[in-house]
């Protein structure tokens, strides 16, 4: 098993026939202040070192390297606020949407599930060494489709799922569509087999509604004893009242004050370009086309209601 030094951050990963290749950067944990890890990689000059972990060594890690918490989410739902507020706690390092995790989870999966799990554990050990303290993994939204693989890789780690009214989520995705949603609605789309195996083609609005439904179903199959939901309207208070404690973090008055102050800013503003947070829920509700509203109400909302019922405290 390759052992990285404390300052080597896994920036990218590649699955090859002879093993897992890692692009390591000499970026210190204290520099991870950007909303997304890749922004730090692009902002901070660093030396790149490529190493290989053989397939036989995947997952052979020491105990205690799993994340203290995992943040799943459905996109455009306040998850970046959660990760940015957790960064206000000196006792934890947060890795926000690392591309190395995406590189392992992105379909088509040519490696068997056991080796994907091993690759995630190997990456987890690298992040743990880099952090040098408890660490939290905030994933990309589409990673939620494969949350069962992540949960198997880190079987004792607590997690949360950040959710928001699916209508508002879909409006945001239509207005600012990420690159991975190119060709959404077509059977050839990268995630079509998971979103709806029988889908041949359809509208983008219907596909986004099905995507949200698929997120809810995937998380609904996990052990509810390990997880919890973070509803958008409960932010930012939910970070210090629920998320932090679930991840084993002590939130004292000083940390809570730092988090509260940070919550006033836009969580996605790049470092050095701070901007104030502006609520947009009402605008997104008003902007939703009738066709999108029908798709969400028919396909996504019932699945969300089932998920909420499953995780609601008795």
Question: What pLDDT does residue 280 have?
Answer: 96
Picking from 24, 23, 21, 25, the residue whose alpha carbon sits closest to that of residue 53 is 21
Mean pLDDT rounded to a whole number for the chain: 95
Averaged over 192-197, what is the pLDDT?
A: 88
- In this predicted structure, the answer to whether residue 312 has a pLDDT above a threshold of 90 is no
Question: What pLDDT does residue 182 have?
Answer: 86
Averaged over 144-159, what is the pLDDT?
A: 98
Question: What pLDDT does residue 2 have?
Answer: 53
| Tokens coding 22 | 């890692």
Picking from 211, 212, 196, the residue whose alpha carbon sits closest to that of residue 164 is 212
Q: pLDDT band at 246, cuts 50/70/90?
A: very high
pLDDT digits (tens, 9 = 90+) for 64-93: 999 999 999 999 999 999 999 999 999 999
Within a domain: 9: no
Within a domain: 32: no
Within a domain: 36: no
Averaged over 160-174, what is the pLDDT?
A: 98
Question: What pLDDT does residue 214 have?
Answer: 97
Within a domain: 20: no
Within a domain: 198: yes
Alpha-carbon distance 12 to 48, whole Å? 10
For 184, the domain range is 62-311
Question: What pLDDT does residue 82 have?
Answer: 98
Averaged over 259-274, what is the pLDDT?
A: 96
Contacts of 108 (CB under 8 A, 6+ apart): none
Question: What pLDDT does residue 314 have?
Answer: 39
Within a domain: 109: yes
Question: What pLDDT does residue 200 have?
Answer: 65
Question: What pLDDT does residue 186 have?
Answer: 85
Q: Where are the alpha helices (DSSP H) in 5-74?
A: 37-43
Alpha-carbon distance 311 to 313, whole Å? 6
Picking from 262, 284, 251, the residue whose alpha carbon sits closest to that of residue 80 is 262
Output the CA torsion 120→121→122→123 (10° steps). Answer: 50
- In this predicted structure, the answer to whether residue 3 has a pLDDT above a threshold of 60 is no
Averaged over 83-109, what is the pLDDT?
A: 98
Averaged over 220-238, what is the pLDDT?
A: 97
CATH number at residue 114: 3.40.50.300
Q: Is residue 72 a contact partner of residue 145, using CB atoms and an 8 Å limit? A: no
Within a domain: 169: yes
Q: Count up the domains in the chain and report the number.
A: 1
Question: What pLDDT does residue 183 have?
Answer: 87
Highest mean pLDDT among 2-6, 78-82, 203-207: 78-82
Torsions phi, psi for 35 (to 5 deg):
-55, -35
pLDDT digits (tens, 9 = 90+) for 28-58: 999 999 999 999 999 999 999 999 999 999 9
Question: What pLDDT does residue 185 have?
Answer: 84
Q: Is residue 223 a contact partner of residue 152, using CB atoms and an 8 Å limit? A: no
Within a domain: 124: yes
């Amino acid at each position: 098993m390759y052992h990285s030094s404390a300052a080597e951050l896994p920036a990218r990963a590649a699955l090859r026939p002879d093993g897992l290749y890692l692009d390591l950067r000499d970026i210190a944990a204290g520099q991870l202040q950007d909303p997304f890890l890749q922004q730090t990689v692009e902002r901070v000059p660093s030396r790149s070192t490529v190493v290989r972990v053989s397939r036989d060594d995947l997952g052979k890690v020491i105990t205690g390297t799993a994340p203290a918490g995992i943040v799943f989410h459905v996109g455009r739902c306040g998850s970046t606020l959660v990760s940015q507020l957790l960064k206000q706690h000196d006792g934890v390092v947060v890795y926000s949407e690392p591309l190395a995790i995406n590189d392992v989870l992105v379909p088509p999966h040519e490696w068997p599930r056991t080796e994907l799990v091993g690759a995630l554990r190997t990456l987890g050990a690298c992040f743990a060494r880099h952090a040098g303290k408890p660490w939290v993994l905030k994933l990309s939204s589409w990673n939620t489709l494969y949350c069962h693989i992540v949960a198997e890789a880190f079987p004792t780690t607590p997690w949360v799922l950040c959710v928001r009214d699916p209508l508002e989520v879909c409006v945001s995705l239509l207005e600012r569509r990420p690159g991975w949603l190119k060709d959404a609605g077509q059977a050839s789309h990268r995630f079509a087999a998971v979103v709806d195996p029988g889908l041949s083609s359809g509208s983008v609005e219907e596909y986004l509604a099905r995507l949200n439904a698929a997120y809810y179903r995937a998380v609904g199959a996990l052990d509810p004893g390990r997880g919890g939901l973070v509803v958008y309207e409960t932010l930012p208070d939910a970070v210090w009242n629920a998320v932090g404690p679930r991840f084993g973090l002590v939130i004292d008055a000083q940390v809570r004050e730092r988090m509260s102050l940070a919550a006033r800013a836009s969580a996605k503003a790049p470092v050095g370009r701070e901007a104030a947070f502006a609520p947009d829920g009402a605008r997104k509700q008003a902007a939703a086309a009738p066709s999108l509203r029908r798709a969400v109400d028919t396909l996504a909302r019932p699945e969300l209601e089932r998920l909420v019922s499953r995780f609601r405290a008795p």
